[in-house]
Every structure is written in structure tokens, then in C-alpha cells.
Structure 1
């Protein structure tokens, strides 16, 4: 006699009970194998570099403006009408070269008058001197009053002083006559003429006749925050950083690099009250006249160097949502360690770590995708011979694509 199970047990959701039990057994076996594989799964392969301190320049980029090396305003020193102009606007002029001529008629007449006055004074002085010499023996013999001799001697001396006065007047007249030709005070490139022939020039006028600028060499005035400059000087005093190079590079509008390099000359001792900046001045050669006074430029130079900085590839530095930088380290127990760092600048293709890392730390630079704190890893030096191949399971398991794996491992 056969005993059949109840109908409710024979069918489960329209399937025979035996099928259900077989499926459950199969799932149990698979689950067991999966758990066993998970327990034996190796850590994700990652590549690391060993952190080491190195000297890294602290480059700064400052905005600046070009300034002529020398600037001179051509001004008249006498009054008169402009008769001639001797230069071509925009040309190069040399110091002492005549530029304008003021009507010299009145000044030539003044020279002639001064010469005549000087001749008269010399004649008077000669007569007074002869008279005093004649009175001297007579006064000794008391043939004339001694007072008469004293008066004659005094008149002779006054006449000699008149010679000196008239000679000085003649010199002044000659100087004024020379000033009627207006020369170039310095060598450089002269701009447009601000007066025309026939205009009245005055020694007290506010506007110059022309402006000359010397542009080779040329200055570049850069503006740096006073707070940054004070912080740098404090670090230099404490020994945290070392002095950098004074060599400066320029970038013009449009990204063009100026071919010549300059040198920092000095920094101002006062802070601009309106901008809170300090002016630094650099000197550049300008043989081709490419730089013109008043141009805006970007100056770049290594203001200092940090001897204790650590360089890591930029891809090794990651950011939190708040912008905080961190790196992943290979820990001693083959676990990934997350470490916050300060990386506020770059140097070439590397990020500069100024805080958070120590010499000897193993910074993971490969296999970072999906890597989290405490994850099991298999760390390999990034400089060791490696082969990079996709995982056998198509990337569903193991490390991130592109993670290094030991050759032959």
C-alpha cells in the first residue's frame, strides 16, 4: 500500500515538491561555495610610491605693468616763440641732440648788452685803480688828505666788483641764449610733439614740449599681497623655506612668452593703502622694443623653495565634497589607509604635499578606483616590473581595471 503526501505538499506554486527541494539544495551549495571563495579572495592589486622629501620651488605668479627705465619731459627754460623743430616724431634721439629752437633774438641782444656793460666796468675799474695808485704816495707825504686816498682806493675796489657783476650778467645772458636751443635730456625714443612751430613757449608752462622714454632696459612693477609677503619673510626667518631665485619670466597678453628673462631688483618698503599690496620691481632687457611702457603682463618667478616638500602624482590626490585633500596609503597590514593632506599647489605633473605625509609612507598611485578605507590590498611598487591585464571575470571581481599585478603572479 502506497502512502501519498497531502495534495498541499505535493504541489508548491504549481511545481512538484521535489523540484522545489532540489532547487533549495542547489542554492545552498552555491551559497556555500560563494562564501568559501569570498573568504579566500585576494586583496585588490595597487601600485604605490614611497614618499620622500625634496626641495620644491615656490613659484608665484603676479600681475604687473611695464615702466620705462628713464622718462624725461622736454621743457623750455626760457620764454619765446618756437621757431624750429629738429626731430622726427617717434624716432630715437640721443642726449644733447637739439629738438626745438626758441626765437633767440632777445637773448642775443641781452648777451651783447652784457658784454658792453662788462667792457665799461673794466674801463672804470682801470681808471679807479690808476687814481688810487697816484694818491698813495701823495697821502704818505701828506700832500693830499688821507681821506681822499681812502676814497680813491674804495672806488677802485668797487669798480673791480662791478667787473665781476657784469661778468656774471654776461654768463647768465649766454646761458639763456644757449637755452633757446632745447636739447634732449636723455637718450631714448621721443613721442609726438606737443607744440607746433609758432607756439609760445614759457619756462613756467605745465605741459612739456615732448616726452622721451628709454625702454632698453625696461622695468616691470609687480603687485604682491602684503600678507603673503609677510608670511614668506616669516618662513624665511624661521628656516621653513629657503630663498629662491631672482630670475623672472614674463607672459604677455594672449599667452605669448617673452623670450628674455629679467631680475628682481627690490621691493617697496611701504604698502599701498588702497590695495594692500607691495610693489616689486624687476628689470628686463628690451633690445627689440617689444615691451612698451604701460603694458599689462604676468610675471612668474620662484620666490622661495621648500626643502621638506613631498611630490606625488596629481592623480593620487583626491578631494572630499568639502574640498579637503586626501591620499590612500598602503598600510603595514595590507589594508588601505586614508590620510588627509595639504596639497594647495602643483609642480609640473605632481602635487606638492606640505603636510599630512611623512618620509617612507607608501602612497597608492594605481588602482585607486573604488578603493576605500580598510580595504584589503596587494601593494606592489609602481616602479617594479608589472603586467597590466583585465581581470579574468571581466572586472566583476578583484581590483579596479588597470591595477598592477605581479608578473607571473
Structure 2
């Protein structure tokens, strides 16, 4: 009897343990799936903006130098100000140059009077020589004198032009519109002796250049996919470098070099942008956005959705049974908000964009569709709205 009782107790204990294990398994199976954010991708035309960093440079830079010698009498501009083309900048002492002009004018008048007398002598001797009443040699002397004086008058006129030119050089004006530097020479100093003294510089800042160096592969992408002969561009100043919002500055690409830099594998390019407020300064570090096209369909996904390991780039997708799957992809060109996917994706693929550290292939998830808020097109619209503010 005692043995039967012991056996019955052991059977009841084992049965209770099995029931507990079953309950634990049931609880484990009933754990809710991981909630993740996902976007649905399609092969569709997306505005392609390629972003680069670069520096601004003035479209024109002019050195203002003294072209005649003399004492600097006046500085007629505010240093660092914007000057207009033709504006007076400096005045050099004019006394010597006015005297030279007056002397050249007087010399011409003297020779004109002598020429008039010589012509009268020729006119008087012509009939006398014809009647053999005067020697021909005398007539020829007067004719030679006329020719000599005509040549002297031409030399006088050249001297007058030179004197006027030198006098004009004493009033130095701005050859271009732009921002002027400081005066490198103080009033009272002698300039222009032995060399053309540098007085100041002017840089033209509207429009402004922005130089950058894209990789050769992206240069070829621009050429292949561009929707217009002239690529649109805009220049932005990083928010961390400016306390006051400036830009974006609109323009276009006006130069691409004809060779690849062997050291860097890049090509020099240039954007020219409007700068009507003159607040984009030369030498500023900037972002250059180049618009390529919005006509060609691509698969585009946010950069944050892509993972990397020894096998390469991949994303996690969600199938119709809400199960995750690893999909290997190949990357194409990249922008700040997107990466082009050249292989691996299909239309209507659901890409996980959040909680990627917790994801592994074959697990159940609850995917929340965030395409309207965090898809590539949505991100681009937000950027456009931010840029327009």
C-alpha cells in the first residue's frame, strides 16, 4: 500500500511539472511581435540632388595699381565697402601732368603757325618759278618745310594724347563693381616710381563662384542622367558656421574640367550663383547641391535603412506573413537623404527603417507603414520646405 501511494505521489508531481512547462511554452509563444517602422519602395522618378562641399571664389579679382608716378593726394572710398564701376577711388597729384599737356598743346599751336607761313611761301613761289623768276630750289625748300611741319604736328598730337592719358591716370576709378579692400598706401606717399604701386584690390561678388570636386563616377552620372543641358545648382552655408540664416543661393553649373585629378580621382567643377545681398563672402566653406534629374525612375531608400557586414550591404524586409528577411543589395550614387539601389529590391518591397539592432532574419514583426512620413519623397519635401523658410 505504501509503495502504491508513493508511486501515485510521483505521478502527480510529474504531471504538475509538465503542466507548468506547457504553460511556460504557451506564455513564450504568446509574446507580442516586435514593432518596427517600415517604408514601401517603388521604382519611381525621384529628384536627384548630389551634395558636395566646396569654397566660394569671386568671379573677378582686380588689382588697382598706380600707372603714373606722383604723390597720392586723396583716398575717395570707404574701406571694405561695395563700390560701383567707374567710381573714383584715388587721386594722384596732377600738376606735372597738366603742365606736360599744356606744353604739348602749345607745341602743336607753334607748329601750326609755322605750317601756315610755310604754305604761304609755297603759294608765293609757285608762279614765280613757273615764269623762271625765282629759283626752283627755293620752292622745294619751302615745300619740304611744309612736309616737316605736318609731321611735327602729328607728333604733337601724339604727345597730346599721351599727356591726356597720363593726366587721366591721376584719377583712379573702379574698373568693376564689387567689394573693395583697404587702401595699402596712405595719403602723402609717392607712388608709381619704378613700379606700378599696388593701391588696393576689388573682388566682384555678384554673381559668386563655388568650386567643388566630385568623384569621376558621379561626374559621369551627371552627364548621363541630366535632364537639361545646364545643371541647376544651389549653395548652402552649414548651420554650424553661420549664426544668421543665409541662402540658399541659386545658380547653375558653368564649368567642368576636361581631366581627372590623378591623385584624388576627382574632377574640378564650378557653380555660379546669385549673390544680390553681397552676404556670401569669398573663401566661405559651403555645401553645393547639384540637381541632375527628376525624370529617371530608381529605387531610392534612406541611408539609415542600410546595414553592412562582411557580405556587403543589405536591408531587412517584411514579407506578407510579417516575417523578416535579409536582402543583399548593391548601392549606386548617394545623396544626403537617399541611396540609389541598383539591384536586390523589387516594387512594393517593405523595408525596415527602425530598431535594426534588434532585427534578425526569420522573426515576426509588426510593421508600421511610415512611407508618407519617412520615405525618400517625404524627406525631400521636408527639406524643400526647410530651405524655403
TM range (shorter): 0.7 to 0.9
- How many residues are paired up? 362
CA separation in 1, counterparts of 2:9 and 2:300? Answer: 63
Aligned mates of 1:193, 1:132 — CA distance in 2: 60
Q: 1:5-404, aligned counterparts within 5 Å? A: 10=3, 16-24=6-14, 51-202=41-192, 205=195, 207-215=197-205, 217-233=206-222, 235-236=224-225, 242=227, 246-252=232-238, 254=240, 256=242, 257-271=245-259, 276-287=266-277, 289-305=278-294, 307-311=296-300, 317-320=306-309, 324-330=313-319, 336-342=324-330, 345=334, 348=337, 352-361=340-349, 363=351, 373=361, 382=369
1:165-219 deviations in Å (ceiling 9; x for gaps): 112212211221222222232333332111112211116536511223333x241
| Greater mean deviation of Cα atoms: 109-118 or 316-325 | 316-325
TM-score, normalised to structure 2, is 0.74
- Contact persistence 1:99–1:184 (CA under 8 A): yes
Q: CA deviation at 1:356?
A: 1.0
Deviation string, structure 1 residues 241-283 (Cα, Å, up to 9, x no partner): 6559614141246254423432024124345677544031221
* Offset at residue 128 of structure 1 (A): 1.8
Instruction: Report the secondary structure of 2:343's partner residue.
Output: coil
Native 8 Å contact 2:212 2:288 kept in 1: no
How far apart are the structure 2 equivalents of 1:202 and 1:107?
Answer: 14
Contact 2:43–2:347 (CA<8 Å) still a contact in 1? yes
> Which consecutive residues of structure 1, in runs of 5 or more, have no partner in the other structure?
5-9, 384-409
Larger Rg computed on CA atoms: 1
Counterpart Cα distance in 2 of 1:285 and 1:352: 33
Q: For residues 25 and 323 of structure 1, do their structure 2 counterparts lie closer, same or farther at Cα, with a shift above 3 Å needed?
A: same
**Kindly tell me: are residues 318 and 78 of structure 1, through their superposed partners in 2, closer, same or farther at Cα, counting changes over 3 Å?**
closer
Give ranges in structure 2 of 5+ residues lacking alignment: 371-389
1:260 to 1:341, Cα distance in 2 relative to 1, 3 A: closer
3-state SS of 2:125 partner: helix
User: Could you tell me the TM-score, scaled by structure 1's length?
Assistant: 0.71
The answer to whether the 8 Å contact 2:47/2:294 transfers is yes
Task: Specify the SS of the correspondent of 2:46.
Answer: strand
Deviates more, 1:355-364 or 1:316-325: 316-325
Task: Kindly provide the CA deviation profile for residues 103-138 of structure 1, in whole angstroms up to 9, marking residues without a partner as x.
Answer: 222212212221221122112211221222223223
In structure 2, distance between residues paired with 1:137 and 1:201: 60
Q: Counting helix residues as a fraction of each chain, which structure ranks higher?
A: 2
Answer yes or no: is the 8 Å Cα contact 1:82–1:102 preserved in 2. Answer: yes
User: RMSD value over aligned CA atoms?
Assistant: 4.1
